[in-house]
Amino acid sequence: MKLKRFLLRYYPPGIILEYEKGGQLRTKSIDLLDLTPKTNPNEVLAEIRRSEVLITETRADQVKQLILRLQEKQGQQNQHRFCFSKELKAHILPLTNVAFDKSGSRFITGSYDRTCRVWDTASRSELHALEGHRNVVYAIAFNNPYGNKIATGSFDKTCKLWCAETGKCFHTFRGHIAEIVCLAFNPQSTLVATGSMDATAKLWDVETGEELATLTGHSAEVLSVCFNTVGNQLVTGSFDHTVVIWDVASRRRVHTLIGHRGEISNVQFNWDCSLIVTGSMDRSCRLWEADSGRCVATLTGHSEEVLDVCFNLSGHLVATASADGTARVFSAATHQCLVTLVGHDGEISKICFSPQGSRLLTASSDMTARLWDVQSGVCLQVLRGHTDEIFSCAFNYEGDTIVTGSKDNTCRIWY
């Protein structure tokens, strides 16, 4: 093995090694999820050298400089205050979802008007209208980190794969017998997973457009799908109150996670693939070990349904959003509720951490989105201007741009 170069990853902190083995160029990542500005860089370097043979004595100083750069980035105070930039009258019917590409230079919007639209973030201009679905475009995603393909899932029972650069449709995935309501690319961008009201999930080949597998076992709608960051496992959440972990290579069910007493609203892996978080209409959120399928914690406190859940990028924190109009932040290690975010006048349907992990963004039926300080729980900003429910919101990769999508048929960009 021969080390070729280093790549820096700021969110979550890590160093990517590009190396040559057997004449092929490969990559591996050194995750530094516990790194803080106060961490001793020499201790981090020593730990890396003990576990990674590619980091020789001659490369040690270079690695230390990369660690220092990551710490410098972490030490930069995130005092950014967002200002309204532009309202895009994006669609003739309400939006369903918004999503950025990895760089944040483009974003996409899905809608009840049967289209997905691609936008340039800087110029706020429409790049492409992805037309061809015969019903609501409900689920949308870029194949991040590449950002050169877009998948759209529709109530017309199909999923389409598009070229992000030209707007051309590569494939139409046909096979579901009911509406597609969720989808995800694997990290390698070789597969798309779709979840449907027909109680199945399917795996599709990005290159050929062929169906590779139908994942059966749920007895009701599959509402959420998520690959882990390695891409070897997929998790599905269903209206049947259960969550299933699948082995991607064999397409076999590894574990069925039983414990929730209501429909599953969202599922997500943490960055290091060790834990899964699930939110449910039973007003709780649960943490599960991915290896064993064991429930390690039930996170309670909400008085109404939990509509969304997510990890921060390091995996240390869990955020929950509820129909009771509040959000909560829990420690993934101690399972304690650290802060409760109070201020919205309606249910919160979407929650997400900033890439840095210091801010939370919530979208609500009260027609506002709010920005919160994660540590104190203080509301830093109220993003007003939409005239109907906001149900989708997202940060770009740097955390300095926000897009919100609403039932008022518009999306708003905030810098």
**Model confidence band, residue 334 (pLDDT cutoffs 50, 70, 90):** very high
pLDDT tens figures, 158-216: 999 999 999 999 999 999 999 999 999 999 999 999 999 999 999 999 999 999 999 99
DSSP 193: E
Rounded-to-integer distance, Cα 331 and Cα 133, Å: 42
CB 369 within 8 A of CB 379: no
For residue 396, is pLDDT > 80?
Answer: yes
Tokens of 239: 């209206």
- The per-residue pLDDT for 78 is 75
Contact yes or no for 181/197 (Cβ under 8 A): yes
Q: Does the pLDDT at position 85 exceed 80?
A: yes
User: pLDDT (tens digit, 9 = 90+) per residue, 101-121?
Assistant: 999 999 999 999 999 999 999
**Secondary element (H or E) of residue 44:** helix 41-51
Q: What sign for the dihedral angle of Cα 396, 398, 399, 401?
A: negative
pLDDT of residue 316: 98
pLDDT band at 392 (very low <50, low <70, confident <90, very high): very high
Sequence-ordered list of residues with C-beta below 8 angstroms from that of 222, at least 6 positions apart, any chain: 181, 182, 195, 196, 197, 199, 200, 201, 236, 237, 238
Please list, residue by residue across 104-123, b when 16 or more beta carbons sit within 10 angstroms of its beta carbon and e when fewer do: bebbbbbbbbbbbbbbebee
pTM above 0.95, yes or no: yes
Q: What is the pLDDT of residue 60?
A: 97
Q: Please name the residue that has the structure tokens 């905030």.
A: 414
Q: Which residues pair with 332 in a beta bridge?
A: none
| Contact by Cβ (8 Å): 30, 14 | yes
pLDDT tops 90 at residue 303: yes
Residue 77, pLDDT > 90, answer no
Domains of the chain: 84-414 (2.130.10.10)
- pLDDT of amino acid 79: 80
Query: What mean pLDDT do residues 206-233 have?
Result: 98
Mean pLDDT of 55-73: 97
Q: How many other C-beta atoms can be found within 10 angstroms of the C-beta atom of residue 208?
A: 9
Confidence (pLDDT) at 130: 98
pLDDT in tens, 12-51: 999 999 999 999 999 999 999 999 999 999 999 999 999 9
Cross-strand partners of 213:
203
- Amino acid making up residue 30: I
For residues 226 and 219, give the distance between their C-alpha atoms in angstroms, rounded to a whole number. Answer: 19
Residue 16 pLDDT: 97
Q: Are the C-beta atoms of residues 277 and 318 closer than 8 Å to each other?
A: yes
Could you give the 3-state DSSP secondary structure of residue 184?
A: strand
> Residue 126: its pLDDT value, please?
97
Q: Tell me the mean pLDDT in the region 295-299.
A: 98
Q: Provide mean pLDDT across the span 374-381.
A: 98
Backbone angles phi, psi at 49, to 5 degrees: -65, -35
Q: Please tell me whether residue 143 adopts helix, strand or coil conformation.
A: coil
359: pLDDT strictly greater than 90: yes
Retrieve residue 82's tokens: 């967002």
Quote the mean pLDDT of the chain: 97
Q: Is the pLDDT of residue 307 over 90?
A: yes
Model pLDDT, residue 39: 98
User: In the prediction, which pLDDT does 297 show?
Assistant: 98
273 dihedral zone (left: phi>0; alpha: psi -120 to 50; beta): left
Q: Nearest 5°: phi and psi at 26?
A: -130, 165
Token couple for 163: 């070229």
Helix (H) or strand (E) holding 62: helix 57-75
Query: Measured in Å, how far apart are the chain's first and last C-alpha atoms?
Result: 44
